[in-house]
Structures are given as structure tokens and as C-alpha cells.
Structure 1
Amino acid sequence: MSAPTSPAELYRHSLRLLLDKDIPAWVALWAEDGLMEFPFAPDGWPQRLDGKEAIAAYMRPYPDHIDLHDFPDLRIHQTSEPETIVVEMRGVGRMVETDSPFDMTYIAVVTVRDGRFTSYRDYWNPLAVQQSGTDFTGSNR
């Protein structure tokens, strides 16, 4: 497969990798100095991951906690900056430990340079997970 050329194509490709549970390939889409931020993260949860290695450490156990099945309602919005997109989507699947349903709405602001993610601000709703009593971040919390 040829490398994705636009931010929207790269993002769609990254979702396919998450569904395939290919976290190493997902991490490979990041620039070495990439920044992932969670502006709504509650106390005790990471708010900022600096660099590809920190992002890899955070994401490595993800498939052990959440079994993603689909990303319905995906909408990717172009911005006035060609390298930046705004993404609206849902992630659905199941929580591995409890076998309960997982259904989360996300909004993300994503910047891509030279075919790699450089910035990803993930505006997920931590209240949805806290209300379910589930900790899907393992030791990363």
C-alpha cells in the first residue's frame, strides 16, 4: 500500500490500524516529536504525551482494555490550515475485562506534517468511562 498523502487519508489509515489492533504500525504514523494531548483528562490521567515513545507506551496496552469494532459516524473536516483536520467520530466495541459495551464519542484536532502525526488533541469524554467504573488505561493512569 502506498503511504497516505493527505491528513484525512492518514487519519482513516490510522483507524484501520486501530481496528486491526496493530499498535506498532499506528505508532509508526507519528513524528518522533509528536504531541498527544487530552484537554479533558481528569486528575490522575495523562494530559499530555510528549514524543513518539511516550505515545507508544500509552497506546501499547490499549487492545488489552478495549476491543474496538468500528468507528461509525466518522466526519473529517478540513480547516484553513491544510495540515490540520478536525475529526468527529464514535468508537464502538467492548471493554475486554468486563465484556460490557464500549461506545465513546470523540472530537480530535489533528495536525500532520511530512506524512506523520505531529499533534493530536483528543477531546474524549472521561465522564463516560468514569461512570462505567472502568479503567481502560491500565498502569498509565
Structure 2
Amino acid sequence: MPTATSPADLFRHSLRLLLDKDIPAWTALWAEDGVMRFPFAPAGRPRRLEGREAIAAYMRPYPDHIDLHDFPDLRIHRTTDPGTIVAEMRGVGRLVKSGAPFDMTYVAVVTVEDGRITEYRDYWNPLALQEPGADFTGSSR
């Protein structure tokens, strides 16, 4: 992505890559020292991933767990920091292992510098992990 890409455009592109299950290209959108945070992660799940390689390792198996079909209801809000956006969205699809429907609501706070994601705070409902067949994170246990 060129460095002139807005945070909102970069984020929309990242969602298309997730739908295409192109995790290497999604990871390439990150700064080398990017940080991904999961503030509501339950015990035993990572709360912070540091560096593009750690994020890549976490996300690599994601398509093996979730078959994403769409991100409906996407709303992107600008903040007073031109490099930071807040995105509200739903991710819908199915859980690969069980075939059960997947429907998760997210709020993400994303910071972009020089055309790369430097920080991504992913706010989601950890109670969904307690549902049968819902072991869908790329956690490296």
C-alpha cells in the first residue's frame, strides 16, 4: 500500500484481504514493530502481540478456524488523531470445524503511520469463546 493511503482505506483493504483469506498480504500491511492488543481476551489467550512476525504467527491459522463471508455494518469513525480510526463492524461466516454460523461484533481502534498499521486494539466479546466449537482464534497454545 502506498504511504498516502488513508487509515480508513487501509483498514477497508485489510478487511478485503481477510475475506480473501490472504493472511500474508494482511500481515504485510503491518509495520515491522506493530502491536496488536486484545483488551478483553480471557485467561489463557494472548492480550498483546508485538511485531509483525508474532502477529503473522497468530493469524496464519485463522482461515482454518473461521470462514469469513462478509463484514456488514462497517462504520469507520475518524478521531482527533489523523492516523487513528475507530471501526465498528460485524464479521459473519461459519466456524470451519463445526460448520456453525459465526457472527461476531467488533470495535477496533487502529493506528496507521507511514502507510502501515502500527497498533490495532481489537475489542470483541470473549464470551463467544465459551460456545461449543468456537475455538477459532489463531492462538499458539
- Same fold by TM-score greater than 0.5: yes
Which consecutive segments of 4 or more residues in structure 1 shift more than 4 A? none
Identity, in percent, stands at 77
SS at match of 1:140: coil
- Alignment partners' CA distance in 2, 1:32 and 1:138: 19
Structure 1 equivalent of residue 74 of structure 2: 74
* 1:29–1:139 Cα change, 3 Å: closer
Map 1:110-121 onto structure 2 (within 5 A): 110-121=110-121
Q: Partner of 1:35 in structure 2? A: 35
Quick one: structure 1 residues 44 and 84, their matched pair in 2 at CA, closer, same or farther if it must change by over 3 Å? same
CA contact (8 A) 2:58 2:138 kept: no
Structure 2 Cα separation of the partners of residues 121 and 44 of structure 1? 18
Task: Please tell me the residue identity of whatever aligns with 1:83.
Answer: G
- What residue in structure 2 maps to residue 127 of structure 1? 127
Structure 2, unpaired ranges of 5+: none
2:101 equivalent in structure 1: 101
Q: TM-score, normalised by structure 1?
A: 0.95
Counterpart Cα distance in 1 of 2:132 and 2:37 = 23
Q: TM-score, normalized by length of structure 2?
A: 0.95
Match of 2:21 in 1: 21
The more displaced of 128-137 and 36-45 is 128-137
Tell me, yes or no, if the aligned pair for 2:58 and 2:139 is still in contact at 8 Å: no
Aligned pair in 2 of structure 1 residues 139, 66: CA closer, same or farther (>3 Å)?
A: same
Following superposition, the deviation at residue 96 of structure 1 comes to 0.2
RMSD: 1.3
